[in-house]
Amino acid sequence: MRTQVGIVGAGPAGLMLSHLLHLAGIESIIIESRSRAYCEQRIRAGLIEQWVVNLLNDTGVGERMQREAMFHSGIHLNFSGRLHYLNFRELVGRGVAIYGQQEIVKDLIKRRLADGAPILFEVSDASVQDIDGKSPKIKFKHNGAEQEIACDFIGGCDGFHGVCRPSIPDGVLTEYDREYPFGWLGILSESPPPEDELIYSYNDRGFALYTMRSPVLARLYFQCAHDEDIENWPDDKIWEELHARLGSVRKLVEGKILQKGITPMRSYVVEPMQHGRLFLAGDSAHIVPPTGAKGMNLAFADVRMLSRAIAEYYKSGKTAKLDGYSLAVLPRIWKGQRFSWWMTSLLHHFPNENAFDRRRQLAELEYLVGSRAASITLAENYAGLPLD
């Protein structure tokens, strides 16, 4: 097989990269180790920045999102026994939308297949080769047969545990890493969320987040130990914790738990995000803790830039944008890292903290809701910083 751009990974980054390239008249093939059903059902955060809403609409994949997403103007912070609302639309003129990551994945897969794109699911033994030369290759097994894609460029969109990043030679990459001493236990429940918009709860027992997928489907999370075993959390214990961390500010209606799992918390960036003709995008190059839901938004910003750089190459033969890809996307990534780390630090209990730190966190929360300057700082980051 031959194509212009070989893409490893059919998550949001790989699919959107392929879609944007197609709109620029550039061919790609996507390979993916999981099944289509797995990709379409994998539950992740579900919050998109305003510019992502526009990107989906402007590139013709926003129709269902426009109908089914929930458009929010702000968030509630719950502390000291009271809800405090930050209205992003009033503060910075833009909001966010709640639309599950897997819904975007479904929409993109459907559109890519309708446009005739090859997406090969359930491949195994994938590797990328000759990334230093002019004709890199992706090798893999599909339906029991060895296959090879020869291409001009490779998009490494295969996530944190993928094969692309480790195929870059030793000594090229620098990693920046932080692990957090806690995780999130998350459930999807057949019940209405306690509020129309999200509640971030700072509580003596630790952080909790009350989000949603629809008016009758709540997505609820709370901070737990980093090595927590989900087996130790029967449903009634989960509800007890969620009630306690919400307090009396709203009533929490219980429902059937459709899914539960534990999300690890980590910050990670690799620099540079490219080597030869291999370009990393999304989780293969950077991970954020879930607080603030920046992961997919950052992945889309990467592939927006990468698709433009590749398009410039095919249009004019110039490689300036490709050469500068990593330097162009890293400033936004680091701002996303800073924001995710800050929101995590603001709202969680850390094991080695004392009463001073609790008071300091409360003072910061009060400052946030009491100062217009501080509220704007949160709002402009949460709703998405302006694009370059």
194 binds ligand DHB (CB under 6 A): no
Choose which of 28, 291, 361, 381 interacts with ligand DHB (CB under 6 A): 291
156 binds ligand DHB (CB under 6 A): no
Least gap, CB of 68 to ligand DHB (angstroms): 14
Choose which of 9, 46, 156, 206 interacts with ligand DHB (CB under 6 A): 46
Least gap, CB of 45 to ligand DHB (angstroms): 4
Choose which of 29, 47, 131, 220 interacts with ligand DHB (CB under 6 A): 47
Per-residue x/- marks for ligand DHB, 68-107, CB under 6 A? Answer: ------------------------------x---------
332, 385 Cβ separation under 8 angstroms: yes
Alpha-carbon span 65 to 57, nearest angstrom:
8
Choose which of 15, 31, 45, 92 interacts with ligand DHB (CB under 6 A): 45
Least gap, CB of 306 to ligand DHB (angstroms): 25
CA distances, 13 to each of 35, 284, 322 (Å): 17, 10, 17
223, 217 Cβ separation under 8 angstroms: no
CA distances, 216 to each of 10, 48, 198 (Å): 29, 20, 14
Least gap, CB of 65 to ligand DHB (angstroms): 14
Tell me the three state secondary structure of residue 308: helix
Q: Is the backbone of residue 17 left (phi > 0), alpha (psi -120 to 50) or beta?
A: alpha
Q: Which helix (H) or strand (E) holds 47?
A: strand 47-49
Per-residue x/- marks for ligand DHB, 320-359, CB under 6 A? Answer: ----------------------------------------
Name the residue nearer to ligand DHB (CB basis): 33 or 223.
223
Q: Which residues are catalytic?
A: 72, 200, 290, 294, 382
Alpha-carbon span 180 to 224, nearest angstrom:
11
Total residues contacting ligand DHB (rule CB under 6 A)? 12
Residue by residue, what is the 3-state secondary structure of 213-253?
EECCEEEEEEEEECCCCHHHCCHHHHHHHHHHHHCCCCCCC
Q: For the chain, how many helices (H) and strands (E)?
A: 12, 22
Least gap, CB of 281 to ligand DHB (angstroms): 20
Choose which of 219, 245, 304, 332 interacts with ligand DHB (CB under 6 A): 219
296, 290 Cβ separation under 8 angstroms: no
290 binds ligand DHB (CB under 6 A): yes
According to DSSP, residue 383 is labeled T
Name the residue nearer to ligand DHB (CB basis): 197 or 241.
197
Give the tokens for residue 46. 């579900």
Choose which of 281, 293, 305, 347 interacts with ligand DHB (CB under 6 A): 293
Least gap, CB of 263 to ligand DHB (angstroms): 8
Note the residues at the interface with ligand DHB (CB under 6 A): 45-47, 98, 198, 209, 211, 219, 290-293
